[in-house]
Amino acid sequence: MVKHTATSVVTIERFIIEEERNHPEATGELSGILYDLALAAKMIANKVRSAGLADILGSAESENVQGEVQQQLDVLANEIIIKAMDHGGRLCAMASEEEPDIIQIPENFKCGKYCLLFDPLDGSSNIDVNVPVGTIFSVVRKITRGRHGEMEDILQPGRRQVAAGYVIYGSSTMMVYTTGQGAHGFTLDPSIGEFLLSHPNIRIPETGRYLSVNDSYEELWDDNVRTIMRKYKGLDGTSKALSTRYVGSLVADFHRNLLGGGIFAYPANRKTPRGKLRLLYEANPLAFIVEQAGGAASDGAQRVLDVLPTELHQRTPLFIGSKHEVELAKRVLGGAPELVGA
């Protein structure tokens, strides 16, 4: 595999092709999915960027933008992804946070051997206050016979993913993805409309710097979770205190911790006993990426990627980021006597 540095100008398309060459058996279908997702990301970025202008522009274009903006950007992002992906002949089904059931490939289109699961625009309520939002995606192989995808193809554990990634619409638009050969980041150059390799082989620091958690749920947590948070904050007298950074947008919090080191924690609480975040198209793809970057992801009891899904939109508690902090959460929640209550 060609070793790229962040100074060589490499488009995401070229990088995808070079990664594909490492798999002689590759048919190019997975590469095609990644190209099409990069295109959808550019289209969504364009809409997200212009959302704030909807009320300012008086021209005809703004009516179009306003129409789309009022249509709810997450619904628009959902449609952009479906329209970009449904005719490529590489997918047999899709599943979206915005859709109650599986999205079938139209009869007039060829079906392929992959399923795409996605959250089209996570954290979209933050757009009005200009907080970064993101798209999250996961790709698994079809395991059932027949032409169309079935729920069994979608409900696979995260360890069966063949690709996963996210796009963050922040101060710049970045796409980060993995196919199991490391995690790599690409920054959109809007002047040429290309994602350029900016973060080859991302590695998350072994020990975290940041803690991302919504403390307002403290009263709803169980004692073990409170013990973990005290340790993360250095209040137990032995641990180093992490700096709290919580944006309230999963992709933004995850991305900062991936690059700088840290833990994002959304534990179960009395209000959300199975956690808030979705397993299949939020926790699993980010868990694949963070493990490829040397980090870890747990639901508190087991590795996220080993959780056996039973429902399309099932939720999960999530501890994800630097290995040291995730391991600590697993030990405390696992009832390690020397840690519980400390």
Give the interface with ligand P6P as residue ranges (CB under 6 A): 122-123, 125, 214, 248-250, 253, 276
**CB 122 → ligand P6P: shortest distance, Å?**
5
In 160-261, where do the E strands start and end? Answer: 161-169, 173-178, 183-189, 194-199, 210-212, 243-244
Q: How many other C-beta atoms are found inside a 10 Å radius of the C-beta of residue 26? A: 13
**CB 325 → ligand P6P: shortest distance, Å?**
17
**Inter-CA distances, 84 with 32, 66, 90, 206, 287, Å:** 11, 22, 12, 37, 25
The span from the CA of 309 to the CA of 157, in Å, is: 6
Alpha helices in 197-238 (DSSP H): 223-232
Contact 73, 124 (CB under 8 A): yes
The span from the CA of 111 to the CA of 214, in Å, is: 42
What letter does residue 11 receive in the DSSP assignment?
A: B
What DSSP line would sit under 68-120, residue for residue? HHHT-HHHHHHHHHHHHHTTSSSEEEEEETT-SS-EEPPTTS---SEEEEEEE
**CB 96 → ligand P6P: shortest distance, Å?**
14
The span from the CA of 98 to the CA of 71, in Å, is: 13
Nearer to ligand P6P, 71 or 214 (CB): 214
Nearer to ligand P6P, 190 or 273 (CB): 273
Q: Residue 140: beta bridge partners?
A: 115, 161
Nearer to ligand P6P, 140 or 277 (CB): 277
**CB 276 → ligand P6P: shortest distance, Å?**
6
Nearer to ligand P6P, 91 or 251 (CB): 251
**CB 249 → ligand P6P: shortest distance, Å?**
5
Burial of 245 (0-12, 13-18, 19+ CB in 10 A): middle
Nearer to ligand P6P, 119 or 153 (CB): 119
**CB 13 → ligand P6P: shortest distance, Å?**
29
**CB 277 → ligand P6P: shortest distance, Å?**
6
Nearer to ligand P6P, 15 or 319 (CB): 319
Nearer to ligand P6P, 63 or 311 (CB): 311
Length of the chain: 342
**Rg of the Cα trace of the chain?**
20
**CB 254 → ligand P6P: shortest distance, Å?**
8
Nearer to ligand P6P, 122 or 194 (CB): 122
**CB 26 → ligand P6P: shortest distance, Å?**
33
Nearest to 177 by CA among 205, 201, 160: 201
Nearer to ligand P6P, 92 or 290 (CB): 290
Helices H / strands E in the chain, number of each: 9, 15
